[in-house]
Amino acid sequence: MKNLLNFLCILVFFSSTNGELVDIDSNNIETVLNSHELVFINFYADWCRFSRMLAPIFKAASDEAIKKFPQTGLVALGRVDCDKNPDIAQRFSVNKYPTMKLFRNGQMTKREYRGQRSADALVNFLKEQMKDPIHHFATEEEMDDFEARKRSIIGYFSSKDSKDYETFEKIAKSLKEDCDFFVAIGDVSSKERQSGDNIIFRPTGGDPDMVYLGSLSNHDLLKAWSTDKCVPLVREITFQNGEELTEEGLPFLILFHKKEDTESLELYKKVLSRNLIHEKARVNFLEADCDTFSHPLHHLGKSTSDCPLIAIDSFKHMYLFPNFNDLSVPGKLKSFLEDLHSGKLHREFHHGPDQSDNAAKENAPPPPLPSLTPEIKEHLKKQGRDPDEIEKQAQDQFLKQQKEATKDKPKLTTAKSVFKNLMPSERRYTLMDRVKDEL
């Protein structure tokens, strides 16, 4: 009975919305997202002049899209009134109006639409999104001679009519901008299917293939594996992709290095992969060319001659990792990131070093001085040496080392965020905090 009711609800939903621009709110958003392969949403506010300009264009695009994609459950265009649904706007990190975002199989893609604002352009964007991203090997020779120019995932299947292939196809559509996807079907793939259908990752540069060992029909498991392979731990930031990276909303941990300085980059990657892989969901690990991004270095009081350098950009402030050579010291970079997450870096930007740190140093009991055991003293006397003098020398050396170790750390080098300027231009959108009377 419950399944019948669910079916009737979906049937009513399709009969009432198929062919129309869908008004989305908290009551129907899950149904809309999960009932279509693609959902293109316009997040708007009625008081925003740019939103009002886009409204008839988006409606025309919706009408045209229904003609291009008449199949039920394929494509839907919807709109969210963000003043009436602030929870939805917050959920999808909408902070300017209007914003157009694409959802595939219920999941938001990481890049919002930034193309031309015409009905034809919007429909063409959807047509591009609906293209099959999978390249098919026609012969064994073509498959054997293939060299990856981009990170590639290759599937070997007995048939396209399987749950395994359906899962592979969904992953390919989700990650087509990050990886190339290839398949070999039937006899062409037979030698690669000795133990059944198979999926491999082929990196660039001639590195060995990596075999997927999980269930081919487990969408979440295969997507996690594919994402890990297609989206590298450390990405290069450029002026071309900077806007997209800021759009992901994660603070940046950036290595500034000379293009020819591959040694520093390899060390950076090594430390991140060994000690900070768990931070990938909270921080974007990036590398930047010192010459290209000399402006942020200037704000930190540095120049290209000071590279390599490591800094955090939180989109509010920039924080310089005190000493690049400390990258190899266990826990140093991890502690730097923890200070970001705890708010300590932000506090020190405004108020200087935490008083709690100073108080802890002042209240800590002094460490015990080194002393010689009676046995060692007796042994030294037999050698004609003065044990008291030797003990005093050891204690003086210990106190000197303690003094060096407890010196106040250098003042944190900070600046206002520079990379937030790579975010979308406010001249193209209405920002949420802009006074409505200005429009």
In this structure, of 53-67, 173-187, 325-339, 390-404, the range with the lowest mean pLDDT score is 390-404
Pairing of strands 152-157, 134-136: unpaired
Q: Residues 210, 180: one domain?
A: yes
10 Å CB burial of residue 123 (0-12, 13-18, 19+) is buried
Please report the pLDDT score of residue 14 as a whole number.
42
Among candidate residues 130, 148, 171, the one where a domain is terminated? 130
Assess whether 370 and 348 both reside in one domain: no
**Amino acid at position 26, single letter:** S
The confidence band for 10, taking pLDDT boundaries of 50, 70 and 90, is: very low
Higher pLDDT, 273 or 8: 273
Q: Is residue 336 over pLDDT 70?
A: yes
pLDDT band at 422 (very low <50, low <70, confident <90, very high): confident
Which residues form the domain of 278? 235-353+413-422
Q: Could you give phi then psi for residue 139, rounded to 5 degrees?
A: -135, 165
Nearest 5°: the CA angle 282, 212, 175 is 50
Percent of the chain with pLDDT over 70: 86
Quote the number of domains for the chain: 4
Q: Please give the pLDDT value at position 95.
A: 74
- The model's pLDDT over 121-155, given as tens digits with 9 standing for 90+, comes to 999 999 999 988 999 999 989 988 888 888 999 99
Looking at residue 114, which CATH number applies to its domain?
A: 3.40.30.10
Do 74 and 219 belong to one domain? no
Residue-wise pLDDT for 257-302, tens only, equals: 999 999 999 999 999 988 898 888 788 999 999 999 999 999 999 9
122 and 15 share a domain? yes
pLDDT of residue 406: 53
d(CA 268, CA 200): 27
**Predicted confidence (pLDDT) at residue 4 exceeds the cutoff of 80:** no
Q: What pLDDT digit, counting tens, does each position of 295-322 carry?
A: 999 999 999 999 999 999 988 899 999 9
In a domain, 175, yes or no: yes
346 and 361 part of one domain = no
The pLDDT mean for the chain works out to: 84
Q: Is the pLDDT of residue 403 over 70?
A: no
Q: Does residue 373 form part of some domain? A: yes
Confidence category of residue 228, pLDDT binned at 50, 70, 90: confident
Sheet holding 414-416, edge to edge: 235-236, 284-289, 252-257, 309-313, 317-320, 414-416
